[in-house]
A and B are shown apart, each in its own frame.
Chain A
């Protein structure tokens, strides 16, 4: 599928071929030897979903090559950056010296364009791991691959690696920018596949859930969803469907499942029976048989499945959490035995659930249920296979015995769903006796402005967390945001305190659902700086993370200027996002430009008529969002306008002041506050001591593509508009404006 832009020189091909030969010539021989791989990172064009899109290929392939080692080997990996930009490789889940961890500007120097970097580290563990770029959004464009360390003496059973990923035809930069501008194009695209995904007012009425929708907006929430991004395709080993034909009836096959996607959780199911979970994040667990399981972003599970019959291929089905699409691995050959697909989410049931949980101040209320370890999935209310279809539910009057079981899918049905409480380590994992440093992290966020943080602070807004070598670090994490987060710790394994006592499982990714509280702990045994962050790429880039820093660490030779390096790292979540739109209407031009980051926003609006009677105006604000929910926005700005009026005409505003809306050139201060129903109230005072009070609600979702905007203010100006979204950049619009009258036109937006 990859069109190689550059043909590798014969020499490098030969070189690479030789390493592979050496590797395959006999793993036994090579144990405890240096194992070398060469990775050539190049620009490429791929077509995964109907369009040629720029991406990154390593050694000409997506995903990156599957690397195999044996515990005790020393990995020697040469990364040749043949891009025009810098890159990096992070070895996910590996215990290694700090400067080998591959986080650019934090642990390792970025690999500059045209240079080669050698990563060299001993492998002190075994299991399934992966590697990926830690630079900007490169991971989304193909830079992920499997990293497998075999045990020295491994039980010989057939195995297969399944690298899952998500693919969008949109540039990752665009995806990120649009997320920060509360753009609902993703939902519109989803609604093409799944009705009701936009959760518009018409959808609500059709679902007889108008009250639910109104309450939802009253509580200042936008349409709810389980994932933020629309993906055109999901991939198994870089294919829509992959097939492993080498297996026969009775074979027990170890599947090494790696979720290398940037922001997609997958539900896993197998058409040939139960899945036996035997390892998570590389670490063995006591085998546990399940019917289905969710794999978080960046999480890894090893499962053993049985091939029940010959001349049949059994589907191993991975469905995205939003259930828009799926990808499959077929095990065996012959007629294809399908797995039962997951039915669409019941969005309004989910919305109802969120309404119940959301307090007016934006905090979540778990209603006294102590939620943890994925055991109670509030989303079950949206899963038809657990809680029934809308019709059957009404008939049967499904009556859960108590409130807690209302969300416990294992209590609600015969389907066994994996959760963290079921994971048990085969060996004791107790930490050495040492002083404990306890931390409390509250995961915070705000979907409207796409701000993601810990304790309402981003990475760049906080200092590193200092820890001492030899102490134990315990973190109590509470998720007070509306999304689930896969929290990943670099360079360490943590225990999840899950009721298994001394045998608590070891992991390096913790999926934590909204309202859950989980406790993890690890022994501080390393040195240097280690990243702890949400592994949803766009959350990480928005600043959802912390840096653990060992006190008195030796200087890192990779970073000669640590202060400057840290500044570079902080730039990621300080980034400003740009947005502009303009309505080319029959009565004038109407537009807005935004430049905003986590806290600051510069906003300019204009209304330019085609003649003096319609007038011209430009109004700009610059301000800072306050508070966790960011409902409060004080600003300073200026306002310039001119409109030619009839002779002797004088207008007054609501407060009896002579209105200057026809000739004004002022600076102003003001405050915006988001009211229930997402109405923005705006009070401002200008340098002519004129007061203005304004109410505005933008983008009311009437139907899938139709949006309404309403505005009125104390200058007796008012506006009502309708917008029909045609493509992600073009809308048809019509509005009535008190100054410019009725108009219709085309809105272009970037």
Chain B
């Protein structure tokens, strides 16, 4: 009886496989290479490739090879592989858009084989720290960032658009120089969370057409830097200060090296509006 059952299962599974293939007319079968890690990837890849009666794929997570069957009158190998890449999986013909790769869940984030893009000057990873004084290096790494930030803040306090643009540029440069390989795990975690927004907002300040736009970005830059300040443990005390009026009462925060309030959001109009809400030592 048991053997009979097994036989039936075997027969029916054969039938299913044949029928799946039989559904695709004018079928052509090729083997293709698709990156990925796990069973979740397998499902995602096969779903992305599948079009009823037109294309189906069977991917092997160990070999990264896939059997692709498609109706050669209705589609092409390229079309199918493009869909797979758009779902986040690099393959022999297409590289996935970065956003699609970033959207994959953690276990699916396979190692991308392609070369890491060099930045414009072509100087990635030339500086490698050899000293054991990692902690020190980290503080120093962020020192330039905070220094630039405080100068930027001063410019906003003075409502000096030109200087603010220059200082925002300095801050942006300091941020891009951070080498995240040298960060402590706790810092690394916060850095990964904030750096995109931080750089984007700082760049927006550089490009802003007037100081009011700069100020609106500055509030987000400040929030992100506050997160960093908490894990970096700066050399000097930093005051986290708050203005309750900005943006129609939504309020905004900033960091300062001095306890006295000098409001960067309104400048001389309301220089002393605000209060210190946290002291970071």
> Contact between B114 and A341 (Cβ–Cβ < 8 Å)?
no
Q: Who on chain B is nearest to A335 by CB?
A: B95
> Contact between A309 and B117 (Cβ–Cβ < 8 Å)?
yes
- For A499, the chain B residues whose CB sits under 8 A away are 209
> Contact between A335 and B114 (Cβ–Cβ < 8 Å)?
yes
How many residues in B have their beta carbons less than 8 Å from beta carbons of A?
28
- For B207, the chain A residues whose CB sits under 8 A away are 416
> Contact between B85 and A338 (Cβ–Cβ < 8 Å)?
yes
> Contact between A340 and B114 (Cβ–Cβ < 8 Å)?
no
Given the interface pairs A308-B117, A308-B118, A341-B86, the reply to whether A335 lies near B97 with Cβ below 8 Å is no
Least distance between A249 CB and chain B CB atoms (Å)? 8
- For A421, the chain B residues whose CB sits under 8 A away are 209
Q: How far apart sit A308 and B117, CA to CA, in the bound complex (Å)?
A: 6
Q: Who on chain A is nearest to B217 by CB?
A: A411
- For B115, the chain A residues whose CB sits under 8 A away are 309
> Contact between A338 and B97 (Cβ–Cβ < 8 Å)?
yes
Q: Who on chain B is nearest to A399 by CB?
A: B250
Q: How far apart sit A250 and B121, CA to CA, in the bound complex (Å)?
A: 10
Q: Who on chain B is nearest to A249 by CB?
A: B118
> Contact between B93 and A335 (Cβ–Cβ < 8 Å)?
yes
Least distance between B245 CB and chain A CB atoms (Å)? 14
For chain A, the bracket of interface size reads: 20 to 34
User: Does any Cβ of B come within 8 Å of A401's Cβ?
Assistant: yes
- For B216, the chain A residues whose CB sits under 8 A away are 401, 411
User: Does any Cβ of B come within 8 Å of A312's Cβ?
Assistant: yes
Name the contact of A306 in the complex, choosing from B94, B120, B250 (C-beta under 8 A): B120
Q: How far apart sit A410 and B209, CA to CA, in the bound complex (Å)?
A: 13
> Contact between B120 and A312 (Cβ–Cβ < 8 Å)?
no
User: Does any Cβ of A come within 8 Å of B200's Cβ?
Assistant: yes
- Mask: chain B, 40-72; 1 = CB below 8 Å from A; 0 = not: 000000000000000000000000000000000
Name the contact of B250 in the complex, choosing from A312, A335, A401, A411 (C-beta under 8 A): A401
- Mask: chain B, 243-267; 1 = CB below 8 Å from A; 0 = not: 0000110100000000000000000
Name the contact of B114 in the complex, choosing from A271, A306, A312, A410 (C-beta under 8 A): A312
> Contact between B99 and A340 (Cβ–Cβ < 8 Å)?
yes
Q: How far apart sit A341 and B99, CA to CA, in the bound complex (Å)?
A: 10
Q: Which of B93-124 contact A (CB under 8 A)?
A: 93-100, 114-115, 117-118, 120, 122
Name the contact of A312 in the complex, choosing from B95, B196, B197 (C-beta under 8 A): B95
Least distance between B32 CB and chain A CB atoms (Å)? 13
User: Does any Cβ of A come within 8 Å of B82's Cβ?
Assistant: yes
Least distance between A580 CB and chain B CB atoms (Å)? 36
> Contact between B114 and A338 (Cβ–Cβ < 8 Å)?
no
> Contact between B117 and A338 (Cβ–Cβ < 8 Å)?
no
Name the contact of B92 in the complex, choosing from A271, A335, A410, A414 (C-beta under 8 A): A335
> Contact between B250 and A309 (Cβ–Cβ < 8 Å)?
no
Name the contact of A336 in the complex, choosing from B93, B204, B209 (C-beta under 8 A): B93
Q: How far apart sit A232 and B96, CA to CA, in the bound complex (Å)?
A: 26
Q: How far apart sit A176 and B267, CA to CA, in the bound complex (Å)?
A: 59
- For A250, the chain B residues whose CB sits under 8 A away are 122
Q: How far apart sit A8 and B43, CA to CA, in the bound complex (Å)?
A: 55
> Contact between B118 and A414 (Cβ–Cβ < 8 Å)?
no
- For B100, the chain A residues whose CB sits under 8 A away are 338, 340
Least distance between B18 CB and chain A CB atoms (Å)? 31
User: Does any Cβ of B come within 8 Å of A339's Cβ?
Assistant: yes
> Contact between A414 and B114 (Cβ–Cβ < 8 Å)?
no
> Contact between A338 and B95 (Cβ–Cβ < 8 Å)?
yes
User: Does any Cβ of B come within 8 Å of A186's Cβ?
Assistant: no
- For B114, the chain A residues whose CB sits under 8 A away are 309, 312, 335, 337
Q: Can you add 6 more A-B contacts, CB < 8 Å, to A250-B122, A414-B197? A: A309-B114, A312-B95, A312-B114, A337-B95, A401-B250, A414-B196
B binding-site residues for A, Cβ under 8 Å: 82, 85-86, 92-100, 114-115, 117-118, 120, 122, 196-197, 200, 204, 207, 209, 216, 247-248, 250
A-B contact pairs, 8 of them (CB 8 A): A271-B97, A306-B120, A338-B86, A340-B97, A340-B100, A341-B86, A410-B204, A416-B207
